[in-house]
Amino acid sequence: MNRRAFQGGFSLVELMVAMVLGLLITAAAASLLNTNQRTFQLQQAESRLQEQGQLAMRFIVDDVRMSGFRDDSVAAALLPAIITTATGGIAASANDDDNGNDRLTVSHHARQDCEGNPAPGAGVDIEDMAYQDVINTYWVDDDGNLRCRGNQATPLTSGVTLLAGVSSFQVLYGIDTTNHDGIPFAGRYVTADDIGTEVVLAVRLSVLLGARAPALGDGGEQTFYVLDEDVTLDTGLSLFRQFNASVALRNYPWDTI
């Protein structure tokens, strides 16, 4: 009897309290895990946007910076640095080309076009390739892909994709409005349609890039100011980043400055 009196256990109330505490701890751990997963997904999406956007912008900026470059080994007259008239099957620079995005077309002497195509008959090694009149055009197709097309392939290709998920691609051109004063100064930035006969001394680029990010939830509409365009987008379940660059052209006809 004495031994039985000292035997004990948990009461029903104690078991219920323990179960409730266990459920609370489990719910807190699940909530923390879900939050960490959402944060990780957002960080991955943002890292991809930053990496892809910066790489694409660097590629275009390097090409634009070389526009107008002339190598003495090329006998043909150099085309304008910024192409405003369709040339050799390549479309010209244009404002709001087809789908609200601008088109940028540049020209310079190079061994390869933006697709990596060498001039026909050129050597395999880059050092053996001859300089040619290269024309590269950048535009956004109807699927939101920023594409590049060069003029060195035979026959011409449909171009290559540099960047996917582009919501807006806008370009402005800095022109010298006081010609023949000996001072290169981009006094005004205009669209491709307004360049006319003015000398382009600088180019401004802006790309609005988006990616799916379900962890964000519903975000509503937001207006992005992409150079001369206002773009209103539904930001629900999506992450957007804007990339801007201003490029001073190195090669321009000095006698017109």
Query: What is the pLDDT, as a whole number, of residue 114?
Result: 95
Tell me if 211 sits within 8 A of 45, measured CB to CB: yes
Q: In the chain, where are the structural domains located?
A: 34-256
Q: Which two tokens stand for residue 235?
A: 């930001």
Q: How confident is the model at residue 212 (pLDDT cuts 50, 70, 90)?
A: confident
pLDDT at position 151 over 90: yes
d(CA 15, CA 18): 5
Tell me if 235 sits within 8 A of 214, measured CB to CB: no
For residues 44-53, give the mean pLDDT.
Answer: 86
pLDDT tens for residues 176-189?
888 767 788 888 99
Query: What is the pLDDT, as a whole number, of residue 14?
Result: 76
Phi and psi (nearest 5°) for 160? -125, 155
Q: Which helix (H) or strand (E) holds 56?
A: helix 12-66
d(CA 109, CA 134): 6
Query: What is the pLDDT, as a whole number, of residue 23?
Result: 83
Query: What is the pLDDT, as a whole number, of residue 123?
Result: 56
d(CA 42, CA 214): 9
Can you say how many angstroms the Cα of residue 196 is from the centroid of all Cα atoms in its chain? 27
pLDDT at position 2 over 60: no
For residues 60-79, give the mean pLDDT.
Answer: 89
Q: How confident is the model at residue 120 (pLDDT cuts 50, 70, 90)?
A: low
Query: What is the pLDDT, as a whole number, of residue 74?
Result: 86
Nearest partner of 168 among 226, 247, 241, 95, judged by Cα: 226
* Per-chain mean pLDDT for the chain: 86
Nearest partner of 151 among 120, 127, 173, judged by Cα: 120
> Which amino acid, residue 7?
Q
Query: What is the pLDDT, as a whole number, of residue 118?
Result: 86
pLDDT tens for residues 8-43?
667 777 778 878 888 888 888 777 776 666 676 677
pLDDT tens for residues 166-177?
999 999 999 988
The residue behind tokens 């620079």 is: 93
d(CA 201, CA 207): 20
d(CA 33, CA 65): 47
d(CA 256, CA 163): 36
Tell me if 74 sits within 8 A of 109, measured CB to CB: yes
Query: What is the pLDDT, as a whole number, of residue 25?
Result: 85
Nearest partner of 141 among 100, 86, 113, 85, judged by Cα: 100
Q: Which two tokens stand for residue 93?
A: 């620079």
